[in-house]
Chain A
Amino acid sequence: MRRPQFILWVILFITVIAMIIVVPQTSIKFNLGPYKIDRTLHPRVISINAGPLRLYKDFRTRLGLDLSGGTHLVLEANMLGITSDDRDRAFASSVQVVERRVNLYGLAEPIVQQAKVGDSYRIIVEIPGVANIEEAVALVGRTAQLTFWEEASDSAKVATPSSYRDIYPVQTNLSGKNLKKANVSFDPNTGKPAVSLEFDQEGAQIFEQLTGRNIGKTIAIFLDQDLLSAPQVNEAIAGGQAVIQGDFTTQAAKQLSVALNAGALPVPLTVVEQRQIGATLGSESIQKSIIAGAIGLFIIGLFMVVNYGFLGLIADVALATYALVTFALFKTIPVTLTLAGIAGFILSVGMAVDANILIFERMKEEMRWGKDRLTALTLGFDRAFPSIRDSNISSLITCAILYWFGTGIVRGFAITLAVGIIVSLFSAITVTKTLLRLVYKH
């Protein structure tokens, strides 16, 4: 066991860092005689941009939808029209389409996740904030439209185009339903990545005419409102097979082919689950939870001191460290806090003292059996440890099961509880033991 002073410094260091991380945005203003303080504390942000070392980490508290207000959607992709080979590809495309659309709205931090459950392909969308929700939801569920457009004829050219649509005002008959699929291919000569397109019969004919009319010009491919690509036509292309070449990286080629497939393998999406939470409900809940947590902490603190006197006080200090470090961890990992997650945190505070109680009760017993204080301390910790370890592991097992079988809010609870339990093991054992050893030595 390393010297307790060293460990104490480590603990203090961790605590101070935790305090820095935890500080929310607050302004401090007060006048005291000749001293005047007026500062705003901001949450810390780490931003390092020095040569090869790039690091950006911000320590905001991430709030789940039930606290920030917003919409939670689960969309299910209807794969009936798609052969099973193409399904994964079609799904990847539809996820990309949904992402583009959600980002289009410029809403803060939307989350789009894939979820394949058995045979169902699902997309989970979370949009925090309440403005324009209905529009966003309507937009998100629509099937993607892939369209091909020609440049304006010389006489109709707009002098100062303000959007891509000005440059390419002429829509053609060619659309996503004519595109069978798009693939990443590699030029046989240069090995460079390119995107190959395959049209159906009708599409091949239209494409031949289209390319014939536009030799030397470019043709624009739009997915919904986004311009995907505007390749130059070098010759008329018959047969329905075309290749878009350019300075693609493999990654960029892949992205383009995925986007093109969204139009080629359109997947209708239905909303199977939708939850909308108003924002006022959320902020009230946060306030109430903070109050509840504070009151809970206070009562426990009191209980420990009443029952165990000085030992209890030390345990309270350890408990305060625990709360700080855990919350700092939530900000760092980061863990998205939901109301249930906060409840999990508060619950783990109640459970955090358990270890201390077991140790202290054991110490009382050992002293009753005649041991001196320092020995009772060591024995108390050692003998109580198996109980502490076993009981916390069983709680962690249930957290794991909750995480595995649960979704969204349930997982949030499982994570906060698990993080809380792990940190509580550290604080109850290491922190309390160190503090007590130092105290008893004097």
Chain B
Amino acid sequence: MNIIKNKYWFFLISGLVIVPGLYGLIRWGIRPGIDFTGGTLLEFKINPQQTVNNNEIRQLVNGQNIEVGSIQSTGGNEFILRLKPITKEEKEKLTSAMIDKYGQVDEERYETVGPTVGKETTENAIKAVVVASVAIIGYIALAFRKIPKPYSSWKFGVAAVVALIHDVLVVIGIFSLLGHFYHVEIDGLFITALLTVMGFSVHDTIVVFDRIRENLRKMGGAPFAQIVNDSIVQTLTRSLSTSLTVLFTLFALLLFGGESIRWFVVALLVGIASGTFSSIFNAAPFLVVWDEIS
């Protein structure tokens, strides 16, 4: 199986996955949740014996002089209301008004985030992603410092990060599309998923790089492309297996786990699947391309 020979096909596949996401990012951006923008989120369940629709809710909220950001109905008379930050008193008045109209209203969740906290969360998220990338390049360069010449360990580090950036773009891109078509929002947990994906993507890449290092010592004379290809083929089973076990647990979580982490698990699933693909079909071929160019 010659993966290296077909490397441009695999780059193409990556491109096909990333491009729609990038388009979505540029055109619509992602939907930041209240963790980043500040605001109020109210999730409530109305008396199941009543029929209620979004417009009625909107009118009711506007009647309290509160501007509605968005109303999402999640079935069974359950609604998620997003607003600019409101005070507790305003929320109490709103809930009373709802109870007056519908009889019974259960409040499942009430979250308010002030705008400064939101800004800080955004800054911290960006810093975290940047620091993680740098730390990872550094660590790989360190771990692979005993690469026989003329290959440099920095190249390995950069290749790993390129694969990592690929994964990050895939996840963000997909969530941009999800945000646009399904109103899915980004919250603090999304950033967590992103960083976990980064860590795991490298996890996988290292397995391949490790084999390349070993083969470089054993097969020193052979052309680089061949060494890399052999390494990939030899480690294919284990790369796929290790990812498969993680994906199994994530699928179990997706199907049977709690509601509130649903999108968190989706982000992890997409990211780790992408991470596996990029470790095998992007990171190592990238090394070859770089080698061919220089």
Q: Is A402 an interface position by the 8 A CB rule?
A: yes
Other than A284-B258, A350-B246, A413-B189, give 16 A-B pairs with Cβ distance below 8 A.
Answer: A272-B114, A273-B114, A274-B111, A277-B108, A278-B106, A281-B108, A339-B261, A349-B249, A351-B245, A354-B246, A386-B210, A394-B199, A395-B199, A395-B203, A397-B136, A410-B188
Q: Which of A385-425 contact B (CB under 8 A)?
A: 386-387, 390-395, 397-399, 401-402, 404-407, 409-410, 413-414, 417
Do the beta carbons of A285 and B252 come within 8 Å of each other?
A: no
Nearest A residue to B213, CB-CB: A386
Residue from the list B132, B188, B207, B261 in contact with A387, Cβ < 8 A:
B207
Q: Is B128 an interface position by the 8 A CB rule?
A: yes
Known contacts A281-B108, A394-B203: A296-B253 contact under CB 8 Å: yes
Residue from the list A117, A137, A404 in contact with B120, Cβ < 8 A:
A117
Do the beta carbons of B143 and A137 come within 8 Å of each other?
A: no
* Chain A residues in 8 Å Cβ range of B11: none
Q: How far is the CB of B8 from chain A (nearest CB, A)?
A: 28
Contact with B along A260-285 (1 / 0, CB 8 A): 00000000000111111110110011
* Chain B residues in 8 Å Cβ range of A349: 249
Do the beta carbons of A395 and B200 come within 8 Å of each other?
A: yes
Segment of B24-32, B62-70, B174-182, B190-198 engaged in the interface with chain A: B190-198
Complex CA–CA separation, A351 to B196 (angstroms): 12
Nearest B residue to A392, CB-CB: B203
Do the beta carbons of A303 and B242 come within 8 Å of each other?
A: no
Do the beta carbons of B195 and A401 come within 8 Å of each other?
A: yes
Complex CA–CA separation, A303 to B241 (angstroms): 9
Residue from the list A276, A354, A392, A401 in contact with B109, Cβ < 8 A:
A276
Q: Which of A33-80 contact B (CB under 8 A)?
A: 66, 74, 76
* Chain A residues in 8 Å Cβ range of B216: none
Known contacts A299-B248, A351-B246, A357-B245: A405-B128 contact under CB 8 Å: yes
Q: Which of B95-132 contact A (CB under 8 A)?
A: 106-114, 116-117, 120, 124-125, 127-128, 131-132
Chain B interface residue bracket vs A: 35 or more
Q: Is B167 an interface position by the 8 A CB rule?
A: no
Complex CA–CA separation, A301 to B118 (angstroms): 42
Nearest A residue to B120, CB-CB: A117
Q: How far is the CB of B62 from chain A (nearest CB, A)?
A: 23
Q: Is B244 an interface position by the 8 A CB rule?
A: yes
Q: Is B74 an interface position by the 8 A CB rule?
A: no
Do the beta carbons of A347 and B246 come within 8 Å of each other?
A: yes
Do the beta carbons of A397 and B132 come within 8 Å of each other?
A: yes
Q: How far is the CB of A358 from chain B (nearest CB, A)?
A: 6
* Chain B residues in 8 Å Cβ range of A401: 128, 131-132, 135, 195
Q: Is A335 an interface position by the 8 A CB rule?
A: no
Do the beta carbons of B199 and A397 come within 8 Å of each other?
A: yes
Q: Is A288 an interface position by the 8 A CB rule?
A: yes
Supply 11 A–B pairs (Cβ within 8 Å), ascending by A. A271-B88, A281-B259, A281-B260, A285-B260, A347-B246, A347-B249, A391-B207, A394-B140, A395-B203, A401-B195, A409-B189
> Could you say which of A134, A295, A303 has the most chain B C-beta atoms within 10 Å of its C-beta?
A295
Complex CA–CA separation, A349 to B204 (angstroms): 16
Complex CA–CA separation, A271 to B143 (angstroms): 47
Complex CA–CA separation, A386 to B265 (angstroms): 29
Q: Is B206 an interface position by the 8 A CB rule?
A: yes
Q: Is B264 an interface position by the 8 A CB rule?
A: yes
Do the beta carbons of B241 and A394 come within 8 Å of each other?
A: no
Nearest A residue to B235, CB-CB: A361
Known contacts A296-B253, A361-B237, A402-B192: A397-B117 contact under CB 8 Å: no
* Chain A residues in 8 Å Cβ range of B214: 383
Known contacts A273-B113, A278-B107: A361-B248 contact under CB 8 Å: no
* Chain A residues in 8 Å Cβ range of B265: 343
Q: Is A145 an interface position by the 8 A CB rule?
A: no
Q: How far is the CB of A416 from chain B (nearest CB, A)?
A: 12
* Chain A residues in 8 Å Cβ range of B203: 351, 354, 391-392, 394-395
* Chain A residues in 8 Å Cβ range of B131: 401, 405
Do the beta carbons of A296 and B111 come within 8 Å of each other?
A: no
Known contacts A339-B258, A399-B199, A410-B192: A275-B252 contact under CB 8 Å: no
Complex CA–CA separation, A288 to B139 (angstroms): 37
Q: Is A167 an interface position by the 8 A CB rule?
A: no
Do the beta carbons of B242 and A354 come within 8 Å of each other?
A: yes
Q: How far is the CB of B145 from chain A (nearest CB, A)?
A: 12
Q: Is B92 an interface position by the 8 A CB rule?
A: yes
Complex CA–CA separation, A433 to B125 (angstroms): 40
Q: Which of B233-259 contact A (CB under 8 A)?
A: 234, 237-238, 241-242, 244-253, 255-259
Residue from the list A76, A272, A277, A289 in contact with B257, Cβ < 8 A:
A289
Do the beta carbons of B139 and A291 come within 8 Å of each other?
A: no
Nearest A residue to B202, CB-CB: A394
* Chain A residues in 8 Å Cβ range of B198: 398
Q: Is A238 an interface position by the 8 A CB rule?
A: no
Q: How far is the CB of B33 from chain A (nearest CB, A)?
A: 12
Complex CA–CA separation, A357 to B243 (angstroms): 10
